[in-house]
Structure 1
């Protein structure tokens, strides 16, 4: 459809102790022998705990001056570590396994990719403008048929063409296959400032990004063509070319803005072209109107979110 808009948007130790006891033994007494007095019993004296005794093999000493046996080396490699039983009460220290080498190349250790890290898609190369062959020439060389479209009953695309104050929609027989034409018939120039939209359905196989590289060529064929701005950035997600410049038509110097868009709707492709032209003598006065048309122009698929307003292209020779 065509919308003619009027506005803009985380030690274990122990000790050993011993005791010494005294035993008294007595024998039988003969009847004819005089009695020998029995010596008094000597009370047993408990022995003091031994000092500086050597510990039993494999045991631990409670003497704090004894050298402590060396602990197991936690860094001994598993191939050299002896599997001897640990002494009672002494904790065994198992060797620590080596940590994984974080610098192992992927070919030797397949580590899973970090979660949440997405691969960066390569940036497609910028299109190189063609130096010959217009869009129509390109399509003809590919056997692509161009079918002119009319606004009545057209639902494949939503096309917005703003209409500034004083401008009106007009029928123009001078624009072949016109989809919509608006003009300022009350301007101060002999040349009527105007904006034209032409829409073609493209029937045939072709590469839209290859085709759009031919978008400058038709303007380059204009008399005394002098480009000022040009860009091949996408327009609303579609391949597009845009160029601005000056040319002559008879005795008049004209300023023009031309955009081509190759839009896809379902399985079909369309070429949508906009041209806005004014007399250079009134270009300053007409700037608000022409900028409104250029910046408010839209081409979208029905139901899709409208793209952000287009910005003026950077100055690039065409």
Structure 2
């Protein structure tokens, strides 16, 4: 199984997006007017990397296999579940995907982990991390960062887009993590939180709690291997 069939389906399914290593001011992002904004100039990421991350990995021969976050022994990947949120299951999601939702629809939070096999440069790969998000209908980038996350290479983007007649806000972080020695297995971690723009104020506390509680780290508090 190559990276593209699994990763492409997974990345497209979440309509990805991400931000900074500081605690995000997510309420201000979600307070953006819900009407579709005027188009902005293409971002640097879009100009430099029109190829989505999944396609880039496939083209350089990197293979990806989905792994449930709670099955990892050499890496801790988790997100909290606020009161009132429940596990959400969808047959179209990649095996091992963890997804939670509040009610029967949005807001949702999704966590995916892929075990990677193949050599690649993380910084180069992450230049493609925002492409899927920026290809969403009427996408508007509200914030982004390529700062490390807990010592791991990462890219994060926040933005809004149109979906089935609704304006959505989304936060997406991609982390290229390395597990504990001796294997030092490399993983792609994708964390996405999405909700309706017109429910920003009431959902902001839960959304912020999920984002701030998202964790990718080597067990035992060891320094993240590079």
Judge same fold: TM > 0.5, yes or no: yes
1:214 aligned residue: 128
Listed as ranges, the matches of 1:292-307 within 5 Å are 292-304=209-221
- Corresponding position: 1:204 with 2:142: no
1:158 aligned residue: 76
Aligned equivalents of 1:174, 1:283: Cα separation in 2: 27
Aligned equivalents of 1:214, 1:139: Cα separation in 2: 10
Contact 2:152/2:177 (<8 A) preserved: yes
Aligned equivalents of 2:120, 2:196: Cα separation in 1: 37
Moved over 4 A (4+): none
Q: 2:67 aligns with which of 149, 155, 160?
A: 149
Deviation digits for residues 153-187 of structure 1 (CA, Å, limit 9, x no counterpart): 3212101201112112222324334521111017x
TM-score by structure 2 length? Answer: 0.73
1:171 aligned residue: 89
Contact 2:69/2:112 (<8 A) preserved: no
- Return 5+ residue gaps in structure 2 as ranges: 1-43
Deviation digits for residues 245-279 of structure 1 (CA, Å, limit 9, x no counterpart): 10011111111000000001133100000010001
- Corresponding position: 1:288 with 2:182: no
- Corresponding position: 1:254 with 2:168: yes
Listed as ranges, the matches of 1:38-187 within 5 Å are 129=45, 130-151=48-69, 153-185=71-103
Aligned equivalents of 1:179, 1:227: Cα separation in 2: 26
Aligned equivalents of 1:295, 1:236: Cα separation in 2: 12
- Corresponding position: 1:276 with 2:193: yes
Q: Quick one: structure 1 residues 234 and 152, their matched pair in 2 at CA, closer, same or farther if it must change by over 3 Å?
A: closer
- Return 5+ residue gaps in structure 1 as ranges: 1-127, 308-318
Deviation digits for residues 12-59 of structure 1 (CA, Å, limit 9, x no counterpart): xxxxxxxxxxxxxxxxxxxxxxxxxxxxxxxxxxxxxxxxxxxxxxxx
Q: Which has the larger helix fraction?
A: 2
Aligned equivalents of 2:177, 2:63: Cα separation in 1: 16
Aligned equivalents of 2:70, 2:197: Cα separation in 1: 34
CA radius of gyration, larger in: 1
Deviation digits for residues 170-228 of structure 1 (CA, Å, limit 9, x no counterpart): 22324334521111017xxxx42100011101100111111111111110111110110
TM-score by structure 1 length? Answer: 0.52
Contact 2:69/2:77 (<8 A) preserved: no
Q: 1:241 aligns with which of 151, 155, 158?
A: 155
Contact 2:69/2:96 (<8 A) preserved: no
